[in-house]
């Protein structure tokens, strides 16, 4: 760890909030000063770190693609100055930010670890100290050339992660991909799961904001609503289907999807199940989607599917190229069934 230095990008979130009469709210400069004051963070086993605190600290429920872009730009800007990055972020949309960063930061060769807390640092039972300390130590001591989420002793691939619990300390997990480390008395990285170090230099592919929508199938859904959503200017649509990618074999519904596909809308089939993958060839109820041009999202999380669509549309690709890459593993985000 000798000489290693980590950059902490503090975007907001529960971790730095103080209690007010209107509920918990971010407070400028408080967290930054606290991290430098807490004795544990000055221990020789903790790497040196700088905190870059954002001017407008936000609750992550207010996060937008422009916020993803700001973090990505800052990592790119300070990339040569630091050995790794820790992003402090609210939990509600942390998985979206981590997924987006994984796509924007092409050929990443240093750890980018996103974390936060369920209880603010200002409170007695806070989980913030452990999450930040462990993130700093992991970022400084291990070769992990990818975007991760670290939370409650779990190191997870960012674009495989979802918030699975709103009240437990272990708020995040990656249901379709193993955890990247065993964190106990020792920290053991599962090196066979870590992505390989790239040979090309880091490049930054900024995400634009295409017109994308998502909808969950349910019994009795009004197909007219789906038809309305699929009208221009929509460009991409994530359809959350049953089981292994199944939908009702309804003629009107399938015609609506086919017309949308023929107009150039990219329709991605993602399962509602947290564990498992889409396989549209298993059942006739899934195969009908293949026939109308819907593509498989395999085992993509909702967050990865959305941000990957944002990313691919932003590259100026043709529709056929977008369909192709949506179904291929680009940053470790999916496993083909």
**Residue keyed to tokens 């190229």:** 321
Calpha distance 293→296 (Å, rounded): 10
Structure token pair of residue 266 = 């990219």
Give the pairing type, strands 5-12 and 295-296. unpaired
Structural tokens at position 231: 């009208």
Cα separation, 323 vs 189, whole angstroms:
34
Catalytic residue of the set 14, 161, 301, 307:
14
The C-alpha atoms of residue 319 and residue 330 are separated, in whole angstroms, by: 17
**Contact between 24 and 120 (Cβ < 8 Å):** yes
Respond yes or no: is residue 14 known to be catalytic: yes
DSSP-derived 3-state class of residue 252: helix
Question: Which secondary-structure segment (H or E) carries 53?
Answer: strand 48-58
What whole-number distance in Å separates Cα of residue 89 and Cα of residue 116?
5
Query: Catalytic site residues?
Result: 14
């Amino acid at each position: 760890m000798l000489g290693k230095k980590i950059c902490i990008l503090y975007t907001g979130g529960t971790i730095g909030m103080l209690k007010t009469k209107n509920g918990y709210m971010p407070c400028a400069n408080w967290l930054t000063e606290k991290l430098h004051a807490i004795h544990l963070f000055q221990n020789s086993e903790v790497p040196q770190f700088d905190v870059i605190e954002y001017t407008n600290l936000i609750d992550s429920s207010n996060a937008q693609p422009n916020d993803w872009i700001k973090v990505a730009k800052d990592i790119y800007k300070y990339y040569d100055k630091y050995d790794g990055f820790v992003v402090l972020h609210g939990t509600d949309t942390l998985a979206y930010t981590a997924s987006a960063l994984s796509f924007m930061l092409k050929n990443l060769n240093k750890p980018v670890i996103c974390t936060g807390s369920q209880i603010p640092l200002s409170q007695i039972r806070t989980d913030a100290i452990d999450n930040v300390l462990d993130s700093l130590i992991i970022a400084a001591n291990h070769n992990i050339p990818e975007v991760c989420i670290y939370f409650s002793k779990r190191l997870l691939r960012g674009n495989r992660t979802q918030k699975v619990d709103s009240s437990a300390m272990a708020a995040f997990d990656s249901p379709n991909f193993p955890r990247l480390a065993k964190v106990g008395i020792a920290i053991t990285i599962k090196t066979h799961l870590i992505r390989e170090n790239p040979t090309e230099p880091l490049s930054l592919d900024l995400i634009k904001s295409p017109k994308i929508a998502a909808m969950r199938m349910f019994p009795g859904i009004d197909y007219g609503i789906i038809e309305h959503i699929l009208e221009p200017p929509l460009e991409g649509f994530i359809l959350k289907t049953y089981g292994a990618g199944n939908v009702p074999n309804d003629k009107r519904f399938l015609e609506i999807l086919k017309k949308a596909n023929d107009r150039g809308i990219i329709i991605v089939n993602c399962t509602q199940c947290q564990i498992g993958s889409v396989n549209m060839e298993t059942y006739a109820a899934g195969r009908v989607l293949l026939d109308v041009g819907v593509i498989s999202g395999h085992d993509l999380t909702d967050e990865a599917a959305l941000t990957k669509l944002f990313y691919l549309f932003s590259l100026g690709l043709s529709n056929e190229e977008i369909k192709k890459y949506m179904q291929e593993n680009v940053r470790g985000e999916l496993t083909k069934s």
